[in-house]
Amino acid sequence: MKKPFFSLIAIVLILGLILAGCGSKNDAGAASESGTPPAAKGTESSDSADQEPVTLKVAFFQGGYGDVWFKYLKEQFEASHKNVTVELEGSPKMGEIIVPRIEGNTNVPDVVFLNGLDQMKKWGPSGKLVDISDLYATAMPDGKTIQDTATETALHSQQWLGKRYSVPWSQSPLGIVYNVDIFEKNGWTYPTTWEEMEKLANEMKAKGIAPFTYPGIYAGYLSALVFPAYTQFGGDEFVNKLTNPQESDIPDLYKDPAFLKTYTQLESLFKNGWIMKGTQALDHTASQMEFLNGKAAMIFNGAWMENEMKDSIPEGFRMRIMPIPPTADAKVKEMMSVADSRDWGGIPSASKHIEVAKQFLLLASTEESNRKFTELTGAPRAFKYAIDGMNLSDFTKSAIEMLSKYKTVSYIYEPQAIGDGPSGVDFYAAIASGDMTPQQVIDKNVGAAPDKWKEQQKTINSK
Amino acid sequence: MSEGGKSGFRNKSKVQRNIFIVVMLAWPLLYFAVFGIYLQIQTVLFSFQRWNYVSGKQVWVGLDNYRQAMKELIGGSYWRTGMTNALLFIPVNYVLITLSILVAVILSRKFPFASFYRIVYFFPTILSIVVLTMVYQFSLHPTNGIVNGLLGFLGLEDWQRSWLGERQTAFPAVIVYCLWAGIGFYNVMFTGALQRIPIEYYEVGKLEGITFWKELFSVVLPAIWPTISTFIILGTSGAFLVYLQPLLLTNGGPNHSSTTAALEMFQAVLGAGNYGMAATFGIIFAVIGSLVTFLVKRAVDRVDTADY
């Protein structure tokens, strides 16, 4: 008799709990429903009454640009769309935490701003992002269109297989940031050729100043040198072949002297002892701190650095960012910098407020928003806009000058391309650590290219 | 009538009992089905697929991923370094266990400040790994770090180096970090096991006049062997899961020399979005890991334990 009695009680208890759970949920729902109208009423009086309240969730990569610009956009958007509440979610790890959410359709935001085009290229064709090609021709609040105002690099980067799933965000140039005080004190000027740079680096070394540093554990920062060098040594023809190769180019493309010259130039930094001692153990913050403390005269870095370090920059510290000077044997003898438009804003298809999200992207792309972005973060956006009358730091001015006055490079690979390292060797790291010579890296790439090409063809042609 | 009513009640209670069982089991079973079975099956399927970014679909590629994986493991890529380093973590975990037992045995003696030292050893365990790695990074900082500072103070300038930035020292530095940060947790486990040993064992030993070492090997170790063997097995299988420590300390560098199998998988998924290869290596390492763990378990089970 006892057992059934107990199980009966247990069932009642469980059912009770379940019902209680439902009940409280209903209550909560009712509460929030009954809670919103008064709040909405206040806004309805100033706006049309038929618009229901919308919460627009905006998730963004909170890196070097911080969150100030998004706070500004929230304010602006809420002011012009009275029924909308913008909910911001920023994280330095957004690029990682958003992946399972978008791919698993859980807790998907209405707008995402991320760095790195790979995810856009993955999510676009698979239907996880809304095709917003039409948005480029839609008039923004200031009457212009994205098509007309975005930079050429941005228009080239922010498309995939003939469609557009994203609007450009920043156009972040990478180059060499130098310590103006060290240069002025020693009567040095920023060199215009690589030979002058070599001379300067040796002079610095002789004086006990480390010429260069960079975020050593993230070897990718060395692309500040490598990408301009590819173009300087190889010219446009080489770059075209690299980014849009045909079967006949494989593997000879990887024997191009531009590779050997570039990698030798990269190796020389380490071989000649121009890189600050201990650099390879430092992350971005630590190496940038060393630079700000005057331990190195120059650092390979990007236009976001000033904003990223704004709490640590010593009073009166002066720095400028400059492009990479060409060598005497370069095909294109121009100073140039990498200026990718690799970060983007898009709309996940799972969003319930796609139209509102489109309005948000349009507002984020107006001239006013672009100017505000530069003013708040010190970095240029991937749009053409005037910067006159703005209160900018010398560093920001130098970054904008680098974009407007000098040649910029950006590598956008076509689907069949197999990149600049088909062997999968992390060649920045291999050369920086001295584990491989430039020739060894090239031999590996030439050897691996045919297989990689076949594999790539198989992958993109498989159904 | 009364009988029928009774059996009716019994039937009813049986139904209710079954409902009760179903309700109680539903949640854990569902949880296991999703996070236990479904994810494993998904991983196996992923290892036979590749991402076609032109069509935006996962496509079946047969054994291509496994062929590629074997090529990379044999050809000596970062994956091989990762696997070698993961295997190296097995003896490292054994050293960690040995050190923890020693510390626990010493701290179990009644000597001044014993409990203070126990807290000192345990303290790293309650701090976040991110904080710990930062502290460790600061102390090994090439120019401002306390380690290089101390070496300079002692006149050993030749020994100063960029500990986390050089191939010879980066991975050993990661290992030292794991020992330093791990000892507290193991220490608490072994202290608990030591306290369960009946005091009579020690007293008999004392009457016989045995030495410290004799006591350690003949009384203490056999008595806590079940705990030790558990941690040996956990330490063996856990070696294949290490990734956060190298990720935060060196990002696997320089030139992937301090990477681990799990870190390479982590970067394959989150860096390159390459689910196929990550799943393939996941399965390969799972097979290697279970094999090694199984062998270790067989060896561990052969040792006799003291019953008490």
Is A281's CB within 8 Å of B78's CB? no
> Mind telling me how many Å the CA of B199 is from chain A's nearest CA?
44
Tens-binned pLDDT, residue by residue, of chain B (308 aa): 444 455 566 677 889 999 999 999 999 999 999 888 999 999 999 999 888 877 777 888 888 899 988 988 887 788 899 999 999 999 999 999 999 999 898 888 877 888 888 888 888 888 888 899 999 999 999 888 899 999 999 988 888 888 998 888 999 999 999 999 888 889 889 999 998 888 888 888 888 888 888 888 888 898 899 999 999 999 999 998 999 999 999 988 888 999 999 999 888 887 777 888 899 999 999 999 999 999 999 998 888 766 66
Q: Show residues of chain B in contact with A3, CB under 8 Å.
A: 13, 17
Q: What are the pLDDT digits (tens) for B36-46?
A: 899 999 999 99
| Amino acid A48: pLDDT | 44
Quick one: fold of B64-302? MetI-like fold (1.10.3720)
* CB burial string B44-68: b at 16+ within 10 A, e below: eebbbbbbbbbbbebbebeebbbeb
pLDDT value at A51 more than 80 = no
B5 touches chain A (CB under 8 A): no
Is A462's CB within 8 Å of B254's CB? no
Q: Show residues of chain B in contact with A412, CB under 8 Å.
A: none
d(C-alpha A168, C-alpha A410), whole Å: 14
Classify domain A54-171+341-386 at the CATH class level: alpha beta
- Closest CB from A126, A455, A459 relative to B56: A126
pLDDT value at A417 more than 60 = yes
- Closest CB from A99, A277, A435 relative to B162: A277
Taking alpha carbons only, the member of A87, A91, A86 closest to residue A61 is A91
Phi then psi for residue A206, to 5 deg, are -65, -30
Is B52's CB within 8 Å of A460's CB? yes
Q: Tokens representing B73?
A: 């493991």
Q: What are the pLDDT digits (tens) for A101-119?
A: 998 899 999 999 998 888 8
pLDDT band at A401 (very low <50, low <70, confident <90, very high): confident
d(C-alpha A459, C-alpha A403), whole Å: 37
A95 touches chain B (CB under 8 A): yes
Q: Show residues of chain B in contact with A279, CB under 8 Å.
A: 142, 162, 165
Average pLDDT in chain B: 87
Is B270's CB within 8 Å of A96's CB? yes
Q: What are the pLDDT digits (tens) for B57-78?
A: 788 888 889 998 898 888 778 8
> Mind telling me how many Å the CA of B82 is from chain A's nearest CA?
14
pLDDT band at A391 (very low <50, low <70, confident <90, very high): confident
Domains A54-171+341-386 and A173-337+410-461 share a fold: yes
State the average pLDDT over residues A16-41: 38
* H-helix segments, B76-218: 78-108, 114-126, 129-139, 146-153, 167-195, 199-208, 212-215
Taking alpha carbons only, the member of A156, A152, A336 closest to residue A262 is A336
Classify domain A173-337+410-461 at the CATH class level: alpha beta
pLDDT value at A28 more than 50 = no
Q: What are the pLDDT digits (tens) for A162-182?
A: 899 999 999 888 999 999 999
State the average pLDDT over residues A405-420: 89
Is A455's CB within 8 Å of B64's CB? yes
Residues 103-162 of A with CB under 8 A from B: 118-119, 121-122, 124-127, 161
Q: What are the residue ranges spanned by the domains of chain A?
A: 54-171+341-386, 173-337+410-461
Residues 290-319 of A with CB under 8 A from B: 290, 295
pLDDT value at A44 more than 70 = no
- Closest CB from A121, A424, A426 relative to B255: A426
Q: What are the residue ranges spanned by the domains of chain B?
A: 2-46, 64-302
> Mind telling me how many Å the CA of A122 is from chain B's nearest CA?
6
| Amino acid A80: pLDDT | 93
Taking alpha carbons only, the member of B66, B45, B43, B89 closest to residue B258 is B89
| Amino acid A50: pLDDT | 53
Order of strands across the sheet that contains A54-61: A84-91, A54-61, A111-115, A343-346, A167-168
Which residues are paired to A220 by β-bridges? none
